[in-house]
Structure 1
Amino acid sequence: MGEPIMDELEFLVEILEKHPLDSLKKIAEEEGIDYYRLKRLYDKYYGKYLTVSAFISLKRLGLRTYVGFLTVPSDRLLEVGLRMSQNPFVGYMNPAYGFKNGLSVIFYTPDDQRDRIEEFLSQYSEDYEYYEARAYPYDGDDNFGDWDLSYDYAILLDILKWDSRMPITEMARNLGKSRPTVRYMINRLKEEGILLDFAPVIDMNVHDRAVIGLTKELDEKVLERFNEYEIMVGVLPGYGYILEWFFSSKEDLGSKVLEFSAHVEKLLIEYFDETFKELNDRNARTRYARMVKKDGSGYRSMLDF
């Protein structure tokens, strides 16, 4: 697959941000765009470099988000990554080197299973550290819900998270439901504050490196200084902040480290490896369906996998 033309990709992202679920014909009519040009770009990039994904309230579902950093010997990275990718409570993991050499991991913990985190991580490494992560700016809200839906909703959430533009007929076929039933289920997810929005998500492989930094204090001027980079900021309650800068391996790694290290206390480089991407994608496709008990009574144990 050739490198994406960024102007074309950014144009398609901008269009899908305004019309995440509309048909291409409707988008072309409303935006005054040539339909065949739009379809050419869509066929070229959609599903390869970007998809439209559902934004889901993990808090409403009773899931807490954590970042973990595990020491894993280089000759065991793939073995440990494969085992982690079979656990739906692992959001994603990638090779990383810095204050821990091994894996950088995002994982989700049911609110009532926080006492199992140490046992969970020790299945994969004897040396690790982890932090709960919240959105920036931090609102201090600590009211988490729980899973109170039937199992069918877990399957639907997987579909919407993976590709929200899947035709409703195909969703209905996958769920064994009628189209009106699927529409009702989607509307219920919205009404209950679980399904928040739909938006295009660019594939990580457009950026194949990231600098992750942890800091106890955040100078917001740093965000202004680096606003030309794609940067994400999160709050680590009880510790401070996590900053993640995305970039390409074609850029100078040494200058990135020097540039960002002045603003954080801990730093590592994360590598978006193609093999790990495949493991992460495979895990994500059926995440909720494997997290939730078949009778819909709540979450399985994160130690079951």
Structure 2
Amino acid sequence: MRVHNLRQLGRLYSTKTSADSLREPIAGTVLEHHLYLVLRIQNPIRALESRRVLPLRIDIQRALLPHNGLVNLGYVTEDRLWARSEKLCSSQLASHGSPQEDEFDDEFEEDRHEEHYDAVAFAPERPPLHVKGITRNNFEERVDTVRLVQRDLPPLRRFEPGEYDGPVHIYVCTHGQRDCRCGEHGGGLADALMEEVKRRRTKQKGKGWDRVVIGEVAHVGGHKYAANALIFPHGEWLGELRAEDAPALLDALAVQPFSNGEGVTRPPLMPKHWRGRMGMSMDEQRRFIEDYLEIP
């Protein structure tokens, strides 16, 4: 098994200051899940009520809960980037013999007053899958489509480090109406990430920054770890981030691109801020840090 110098990372990470030694561990604080579905909304998360009741979202969550799926609301400012992500995902499906996204998405007549969503689904070690037009009338069918990314998307393409050419989504919790820390720290981080990605797209053309989607999500759990960021398809959850961490987060992604090659164990992204990973139980997250990073 290739471990990508995890032991060396562990030695670096285990060198703590006295203040760090008193800090509550954040690894192992992510609820176990094997699917994450982001329902795109048109209004900013920062303005979202504390506990917005959305019947369709609740129905989708109930349908996916038996399959260890989590559902959240997401906001992506730039339509162009969302559309590019859809196109990249569709191209990837076609390139390795899987049914294309368009085959899943029948046209529907939009009712401005009806709750409906376009969405993107993520599962461990899988590329993303976009799903369009989820409504009250078709959500059961769309849930079956969502589960394709989790269980039935054949064949599973293997990406060695550096081979993945699909979209990367970074979602920051900015739900300030739920907790002011998410609004303050999350909002600052989201703004800093958007600015830094724009800068890199201009100065580092051809380096893949045009495939990075920065979005905002509602409550993810763990207000005290704000700012929280979720990175897909890696499935990483990071916490205790600040706006000044934006360049380091993007640098870490550049050094550790998504891979799911046979026998490859991906190290945690930004170990100091690592809360957990999709596909792992909370105990497995803690053991992962202890075993591979040698934290006493």
Normalised by the shorter chain, which TM-score bucket? under 0.3
Q: Which has the higher strand share?
A: 1
The structure whose Rg is larger is: 1
TM-score, L = length of structure 1: 0.27
TM-score, L = length of structure 2: 0.28
